[in-house]
């Protein structure tokens, strides 16, 4: 019986997250109330407060749920390309752009983050949480870039911190530009070329080489 209750609680949690994602992406975070989310999820506001503190906590959990799938994809590419970290990086970047265009949930999340969320009031706590995740993201990117350097796939003097900053900014910029005007270019189709252009910059740009 306890196992069934736990499963039901998990199902309710996912219903709330799905409803919040849909409402946030259509109406924006500020214009969406917890009552709106409760109605869409078919639960009470009390049920929402049982699982989440507020809208910032909801959006943070949506983000974590989406990113959790990326870990599985990363492991898949590491298995596919053993000893070839640059191919793993390339495949992951292409996947992120492609998924933004094709996966409705990821697209909705990116639309919220880039265009439909103000980090003020109760949402300022989300900004703090995202800043912490962002720092972890930069550290992870640097670690992967160092593996590429060790494998002889990127220059030995590459400034990995600047490269990580550029990578995050470049990918985010492509997603944000496409989400703002999807007719301007085909993000999914252009993803391989866009990623290859960025990797060429890491390989060839003298400005990214740390001076001895």
Residue 121 is classified by DSSP as G
Over 60: is that where the pLDDT of 4 sits?
no
Categorize the per-residue pLDDT at 1 as very low, low, confident or very high, splitting at 50, 70 and 90: very low
List, in order, residues 6 or more apart from 65 with CB less than 8 Å away. 17
Question: How many angstroms separate the CA atoms of 156 and 129, rounded?
Answer: 33
Residue 127 CB neighbour total at 10 angstroms: 14
- pLDDT: which is higher, 50 or 121: 50
- pLDDT: which is higher, 199 or 64: 199
Question: How many angstroms separate the CA atoms of 17 and 24, rounded?
Answer: 10
pLDDT given for residue 67 in this prediction: 78
CB burial class (10 A; 0-12, 13-18, 19+) of residue 37? Answer: buried
pLDDT given for residue 113 in this prediction: 85
Contact 34, 50 (CB under 8 A): no
pLDDT in tens, 173-196: 999 999 999 999 999 999 999 999
Tokens 């999340």, residue located: 109
* pLDDT average, residue stretch 135-162: 93
pLDDT given for residue 77 in this prediction: 96
Categorize the per-residue pLDDT at 2 as very low, low, confident or very high, splitting at 50, 70 and 90: very low
Please list the residues that pair with 209 across neighbouring strands.
158
Over 80: is that where the pLDDT of 136 sits?
no
Question: How many angstroms separate the CA atoms of 161 and 138, rounded?
Answer: 7
Categorize the per-residue pLDDT at 9 as very low, low, confident or very high, splitting at 50, 70 and 90: confident
Categorize the per-residue pLDDT at 18 as very low, low, confident or very high, splitting at 50, 70 and 90: very high
Contact 109, 62 (CB under 8 A): yes
């Amino acid at each position: 019986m306890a196992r069934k209750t736990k499963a039901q609680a998990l199902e309710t949690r996912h219903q709330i997250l799905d409803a919040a994602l849909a409402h946030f992406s259509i109406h924006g975070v500020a214009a969406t109330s917890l009552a709106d989310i409760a109605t869409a999820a078919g639960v009470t506001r009390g049920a929402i407060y049982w699982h989440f503190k507020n809208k910032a906590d909801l959006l943070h959990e949506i983000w974590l749920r989406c990113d959790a799938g990326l870990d599985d994809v990363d492991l898949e590419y590491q298995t596919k390309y053993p000893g070839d970290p640059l191919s793993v990086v390339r495949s992951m970047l292409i996947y992120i752009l492609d998924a933004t265009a094709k996966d409705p949930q990821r697209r909705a999340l990116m639309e919220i983050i880039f265009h439909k969320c103000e980090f003020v009031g109760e949402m300022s706590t989300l900004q703090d949480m995202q800043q912490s995740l962002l720092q972890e993201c930069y550290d992870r990117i640097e670690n992967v870039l160092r593996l590429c350097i060790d494998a002889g796939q990127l220059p030995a003097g590459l400034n990995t911190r600047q490269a990580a900053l550029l990578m995050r900014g470049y990918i985010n910029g492509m997603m944000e530009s496409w989400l703002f005007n999807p007719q301007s270019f085909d993000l999914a189709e252009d993803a391989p070329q866009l990623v290859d252009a960025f990797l060429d910059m890491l390989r060839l740009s003298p400005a990214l080489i740390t001076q001895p």
